[in-house]
Structure 1
């Protein structure tokens, strides 16, 4: 027996339900119960963990399936009737299910989950047949059957005949005297015309309806009665044929009842795992280890965590070695009951295979999780608080065994304190002897001392700030919590004489041994608080160190990119300088060549350090560092690749594939690839009359723009003149890695006054 009610499992479910979209995942959650076998728990953990890994790299859209949820329940009822829109719902849902199955099956992160996916049928033949017969708006298509096509053709023919006759009346002789409005309307599935009350002087017919003012009567002329009868008969035949088409499709769907039932059963699990993973993916979570230990390290109470987020304080608690009793003590509102509930509720979540909010946990599978928490006073049964607790504890004692987790809140309270404390100790001793794991909260010194004296027990105290009167919600191991009613009364500025009397009475009652125990406890408390403080500081330092390492890495990357950019610019400038010097015939280019080699060497050295992306295949997407754009691999050759760079097909060396592989895939998103751009006379630049350095600068920028635009070739117009500008430009093109080849223009292109460049 697992007491989910007192441990607020249903409240936790209600919180999660609000975040879910799928009606099937909500149904699965509502029916979720803790497993009693480890393999089922571990299997669920693996499923959710796989989806979390998938979501870290890719995305998926969950759609509202409430329409299909209703349809599926109708399908299970043999007396339900269906419409064409139900078939559209079936088609849309299983098309959506097919897309989800495809995305997950093709993902590298999904392995174990394929056991569920293979049990999900997509019913492609049925959905295709429905798509051929019924439109997305639920209209049955005329070509669904030959009979329906014939009926609709006849309906169209009869409608035209009726339209011709009625229009003849509407626009005929004397029509102004009896026609209220020149329009054809339908009443009771019959074509009629709106007439004035005096219509019988001019027209024989049957009245089918009146306007609210009775000033308009809707009349079926006697000439159209036979055609209207035929029209009605055809409409009835159409409805019967549509009903036949729908029933045939529903019968086909029901013939796959077994596969459908299996599909929905597995879809429920799949969509629950997906929605739960989507819900927890941005939180710090841990999948608890399943063994014979109970250990929580920085684990949150799930309900408190979802309400308070960063304001929630996790607890550390464990049954270490051979201990099977934990006693939690301390002042009221200090968090004792919350710690007890956290221990129980987190065990329930763990036994459902769900991750816990926090850092680390080990849990044990229990047959029974029994709890007595809160005020169970019953006015109807005439039970006091103490009596109602005793009734519940009696059931717990009877149900408990060595495979039970027992959680008792304020055991023995509500009666004479002395006898209540003795009874509490007796109950604990009995339960410990039965072999269960027990956690109890208390104010009784007798219970704390019982734990202190026995090796199978451990004391925990809730941390409390007596200066501000606020609980800290931490648990301090090995410390006896103090209720401190006199101290609290003193802080609340209670009557000093009363406080003095109380302190005197307390001193008389306490023995010297009790005072010694208190002193030891205070030392333990200081030690535990110091330990907690050091642990927190260590965690802070580790986090700061991690952040610093990331910043250093980011800085080094930026520095490397900047250095590379500067060297590339230097290389280009030197190349331009070399061309200028060469053509001026005034300087020797040897020094420039030397500088070019130095810069080129440094540039190659930087590039060599950068990790190349070598493991590539067609379809891979890479964020290229140089362009800061995403490129998709289209074709792979020996030393080069063709990529789609935001719609532009370009060729790159494999050594230039520097950047980061993109793992994220968007649902149903496609990239359109532009075909090679045709030669266009608009891709030309005229540099006639410009200085050499000015011309080279413009040509350089022009080539950049052309390459990024996906152009195959361009025209550079430099004129004939003395030929100096032409030679400078062509020398520049010889050493440009972007240029595949260049030539003088043909006679029709401008001859030697034009250079045609191919990339």
Structure 2
């Protein structure tokens, strides 16, 4: 990928963010070398690896990568026979431990049936090398020092060193405590110079004190003298220390040889640990960005939903939707300066590069990214004084280079195309360049100021206009991207808002031709319609969410109610079963007593005992049969016939079944509405079923079925009053809890007469107007006593 493109799209700055999450120098090196992959298979593999790392972080919180170090240099020295120092050997042991720990960690998760094929593949080749790790740790402490326990010889040497040092200190401390010598000393202490024990002596007592001078103070007033009495012991101490150095050198050489024997396995371990560190670096970065995994394709389709530029502060960035490659392959963005055009361009480019690098993106779920063979970008002002290049020349130099290389596997990003020269010529040149890129089959996103390009998308198939929104009221951009709407000039609106004289504005407007004004008006209308559509869509979404929530709550309440019912029945049956068992036990005891009496000669007939036992068995209810019966009854209650009176639970309304429309679905009359309702959402009413669908009727006769409603529309006032009285009597006899008197709205006379009659009728408890789904004030609902 072109280094200049990576720079202008701020790919390197993104990598600096990524490097904040590395665990070792191994991961840092991999991150620094990261570039977008141009092969779809490789990009998908890297995305899969990042996904598995994110899964581990989600389930376990972190990955154990501590202790891992880049030991490649140590291994290469050991490979050619060099002796490693203790610190290098310790880093090798820590890296062996780190590799063993991450290997065990992943293997345990796989055993827990977590699907991690990529991580399993990366950890499988890691060799534990437990013996080498143990030998190094037994010889070297955590600070890089060789332990006494490394060998018996070293332990013996160091014991001799400690003994000799103690003897020397004891002898010198006696000297410093001597009253005859204290006046000659600057201080009564024992110190070390040149690896030999000495005491500080005043300069004037040099000749009388005797011994070997090893150092003096900065002022020269104090000399550090090794007394003659400890010279021999200091010589012995230095000799033993030499033996210690030789033994340590031997131990390190021996351990280095063991490292040399395992160098191939260690190099392979380091390779896979670098891959693992890099994998989890990407996963930690995804977690920090709250990023999601995009779908990848090789057809040039982009669809970033609510995308955010990763380098902008999260609280300040405005999410945008960017789409390209489905119905159109070129997107031309217009709008004012500082409105967000360049940020949109860079967001699309950088997110594409990130997706091709196996990174998750700061976008909403179900976003899509493409893998391109090349990404080209001409962004920013790169004029060069040294090369005598103007802004226009600089842009054209880059564009010429891009046009020589672009093909149908390219993504091209142009910022302010054609700018920096005569507007008419610049616009014409911009159109030609855009056509050329389009004809080559590349995907294109371009920004521009030229008003001539606003109509570009309308004249060419596969090209779409877009704009960045500007709020004229606040005189500030909103940074929202409006796809399908070209940007409009805000010069007159802004000038008017800032108080420019109206006559000046009108004069300027008159200079603008009718076509330009028509385009501006069209754009304004499109923006207003889009805002209205977005508002209505948001309201519809909220309404649907509320309805779905209500439906879920009702379903949950029904399940809980049914469960309570089953619990009560089970409890009652259990109690009945216990009572029956108790009665049976008592009856068996009585029968046993009777048999005893029979044996004793009392007159008790055998057939009477058998008969009594049989009657008792028959009296016991079969709970299993009862449960089956209840189950069949429940299933029957969920089967409805045309004419059945039901209550629709989700609406809380009563209605009548008209017909069956599916295996478990029925069409139901609810007032004036007919709706399709699932069987589980209905409950039979405890009323006499009506076997015919509801039909408007004018009269009710004694020999006909009584309907739950009386239709008086078209009936004369006096006849209607008689019909109502007769109907109420029949309805009471039929046992209806309430009835509907349909009188229509009309002049209101019939409605008033019906309400007065119902108010006085002894069988009517109360009345109300019909609801919204019951005909409103054209229907009076009467609840019967």
Count of paired positions: 555
Match in the other structure for 1:296: 303
Superposition pairs of residues 32-431 of structure 1, within 5 angstroms? 32-60=34-62, 68-69=69-70, 72-73=72-73, 76=76, 82-107=84-109, 108-109=113-114, 110-171=116-177, 174-197=180-203, 199=205, 203-281=209-287, 283-304=290-311, 306-309=312-315, 311-321=317-327, 323-359=328-364, 360-431=366-437
Please say if residues 292 and 363 of structure 1, whose CA atoms lie closer than 8 Å, have aligned partners that are also in contact: no
Gaps of 5+ in 1: 561-759
Please say if residues 367 and 403 of structure 1, whose CA atoms lie closer than 8 Å, have aligned partners that are also in contact: yes
Stretch moving more, 22-31 or 453-462: 22-31
Alpha-carbon shift at residue 319 of structure 1 (Å): 2.5
Alpha-carbon shift at residue 20 of structure 1 (Å): 4.4
* CA distance in structure 2 between the aligned counterparts of 1:186 and 1:497, rounded to whole angstroms: 96
Match in the other structure for 1:663: none
Q: Structure 1 residues 364 and 179, CA, compared in 2 at 3 Å: closer, same or farther?
A: closer
Alpha-carbon shift at residue 35 of structure 1 (Å): 1.0
* CA distance in structure 2 between the aligned counterparts of 1:489 and 1:255, rounded to whole angstroms: 81
* CA distance in structure 2 between the aligned counterparts of 1:549 and 1:281, rounded to whole angstroms: 34
Please say if residues 194 and 218 of structure 1, whose CA atoms lie closer than 8 Å, have aligned partners that are also in contact: yes
Match in the other structure for 1:681: none
Q: Structure 1 residues 200 and 447, CA, compared in 2 at 3 Å: closer, same or farther?
A: closer
* CA distance in structure 2 between the aligned counterparts of 1:549 and 1:225, rounded to whole angstroms: 98
Please say if residues 476 and 529 of structure 1, whose CA atoms lie closer than 8 Å, have aligned partners that are also in contact: no
**What is the DSSP-based 3-state SS (H/G/I as helix, E as strand, rest coil) of the residue aligned with 1:468?**
coil
* CA distance in structure 2 between the aligned counterparts of 1:196 and 1:337, rounded to whole angstroms: 78
* CA distance in structure 2 between the aligned counterparts of 1:558 and 1:26, rounded to whole angstroms: 56
Match in the other structure for 1:445: 451
* CA distance in structure 2 between the aligned counterparts of 1:119 and 1:160, rounded to whole angstroms: 52
Please say if residues 377 and 385 of structure 1, whose CA atoms lie closer than 8 Å, have aligned partners that are also in contact: yes
* CA distance in structure 2 between the aligned counterparts of 1:354 and 1:36, rounded to whole angstroms: 14
RMSD: 3.5
Alpha-carbon shift at residue 336 of structure 1 (Å): 1.7
Larger Cα Rg: Structure 1 or Structure 2?
2
Match in the other structure for 2:492: 486
**What is the DSSP-based 3-state SS (H/G/I as helix, E as strand, rest coil) of the residue aligned with 1:192?**
strand
Q: Structure 1 residues 164 and 423, CA, compared in 2 at 3 Å: closer, same or farther?
A: closer
**What is the DSSP-based 3-state SS (H/G/I as helix, E as strand, rest coil) of the residue aligned with 1:139?**
coil
**What is the DSSP-based 3-state SS (H/G/I as helix, E as strand, rest coil) of the residue aligned with 2:229?**
helix
Superposition pairs of residues 3-14 of structure 1, within 5 angstroms? 3-14=5-16
Task: Provide Cα deviations, 1:669-708, integer angstroms capped at 9, x if missing partner.
Answer: xxxxxxxxxxxxxxxxxxxxxxxxxxxxxxxxxxxxxxxx
Q: Structure 1 residues 64 and 537, CA, compared in 2 at 3 Å: closer, same or farther?
A: farther
Gaps of 5+ in 2: 563-785
Alpha-carbon shift at residue 254 of structure 1 (Å): 4.3
Q: Structure 1 residues 537 and 127, CA, compared in 2 at 3 Å: closer, same or farther?
A: farther
Match in the other structure for 2:530: 528
Task: Provide Cα deviations, 1:419-442, integer angstroms capped at 9, x if missing partner.
Answer: 111111111112212121111112
Q: Structure 1 residues 202 and 419, CA, compared in 2 at 3 Å: closer, same or farther?
A: closer
Q: Structure 1 residues 206 and 383, CA, compared in 2 at 3 Å: closer, same or farther?
A: same
TM-score by length of 2: 0.64
* CA distance in structure 1 between the aligned counterparts of 2:230 and 2:305, rounded to whole angstroms: 84
Alpha-carbon shift at residue 284 of structure 1 (Å): 4.9
Q: Structure 1 residues 455 and 522, CA, compared in 2 at 3 Å: closer, same or farther?
A: same
Alpha-carbon shift at residue 447 of structure 1 (Å): 2.4
* CA distance in structure 2 between the aligned counterparts of 1:134 and 1:59, rounded to whole angstroms: 33
Task: Provide Cα deviations, 1:355-393, integer angstroms capped at 9, x if missing partner.
Answer: 111123222221111011111211121111111111110
* CA distance in structure 1 between the aligned counterparts of 2:455 and 2:340, rounded to whole angstroms: 21
* CA distance in structure 1 between the aligned counterparts of 2:561 and 2:134, rounded to whole angstroms: 57
Alpha-carbon shift at residue 553 of structure 1 (Å): 12
Q: Structure 1 residues 379 and 546, CA, compared in 2 at 3 Å: closer, same or farther?
A: farther
**What is the DSSP-based 3-state SS (H/G/I as helix, E as strand, rest coil) of the residue aligned with 1:455?**
coil
Q: Structure 1 residues 273 and 463, CA, compared in 2 at 3 Å: closer, same or farther?
A: same
* CA distance in structure 2 between the aligned counterparts of 1:23 and 1:46, rounded to whole angstroms: 23
Q: Structure 1 residues 533 and 160, CA, compared in 2 at 3 Å: closer, same or farther?
A: same
**What is the DSSP-based 3-state SS (H/G/I as helix, E as strand, rest coil) of the residue aligned with 1:285?**
coil
* CA distance in structure 1 between the aligned counterparts of 2:537 and 2:11, rounded to whole angstroms: 32
Alpha-carbon shift at residue 46 of structure 1 (Å): 1.5
* CA distance in structure 2 between the aligned counterparts of 1:85 and 1:494, rounded to whole angstroms: 76
* CA distance in structure 2 between the aligned counterparts of 1:337 and 1:553, rounded to whole angstroms: 50
* CA distance in structure 2 between the aligned counterparts of 1:536 and 1:240, rounded to whole angstroms: 81
**What is the DSSP-based 3-state SS (H/G/I as helix, E as strand, rest coil) of the residue aligned with 1:113?**
helix
Task: Provide Cα deviations, 1:236-287, integer angstroms capped at 9, x if missing partner.
Answer: 2212322332243234334434333332232222122223323333625232
Match in the other structure for 2:31: 29
Q: Structure 1 residues 326 and 172, CA, compared in 2 at 3 Å: closer, same or farther?
A: closer
Superposition pairs of residues 680-691 of structure 1, within 5 angstroms? none
Please say if residues 327 and 457 of structure 1, whose CA atoms lie closer than 8 Å, have aligned partners that are also in contact: yes
Task: Provide Cα deviations, 1:443-495, integer angstroms capped at 9, x if missing partner.
Answer: 22332323211112111222222211222222223222213333333323234
Q: Structure 1 residues 20 and 493, CA, compared in 2 at 3 Å: closer, same or farther?
A: farther
Please say if residues 6 and 371 of structure 1, whose CA atoms lie closer than 8 Å, have aligned partners that are also in contact: yes
Task: Provide Cα deviations, 1:160-188, integer angstroms capped at 9, x if missing partner.
Answer: 44345435544558334545544432211
* CA distance in structure 2 between the aligned counterparts of 1:460 and 1:314, rounded to whole angstroms: 12
* CA distance in structure 1 between the aligned counterparts of 2:167 and 2:464, rounded to whole angstroms: 96
* CA distance in structure 1 between the aligned counterparts of 2:557 and 2:196, rounded to whole angstroms: 81
Q: Structure 1 residues 404 and 284, CA, compared in 2 at 3 Å: closer, same or farther?
A: closer
Alpha-carbon shift at residue 34 of structure 1 (Å): 0.9
Q: Structure 1 residues 474 and 537, CA, compared in 2 at 3 Å: closer, same or farther?
A: farther
Task: Provide Cα deviations, 1:649-683, integer angstroms capped at 9, x if missing partner.
Answer: xxxxxxxxxxxxxxxxxxxxxxxxxxxxxxxxxxx
Q: Structure 1 residues 463 and 146, CA, compared in 2 at 3 Å: closer, same or farther?
A: same
Alpha-carbon shift at residue 528 of structure 1 (Å): 2.7
Q: Structure 1 residues 205 and 270, CA, compared in 2 at 3 Å: closer, same or farther?
A: same
* CA distance in structure 2 between the aligned counterparts of 1:248 and 1:72, rounded to whole angstroms: 19
* CA distance in structure 2 between the aligned counterparts of 1:548 and 1:143, rounded to whole angstroms: 73
Please say if residues 6 and 373 of structure 1, whose CA atoms lie closer than 8 Å, have aligned partners that are also in contact: yes
* CA distance in structure 2 between the aligned counterparts of 1:257 and 1:397, rounded to whole angstroms: 50
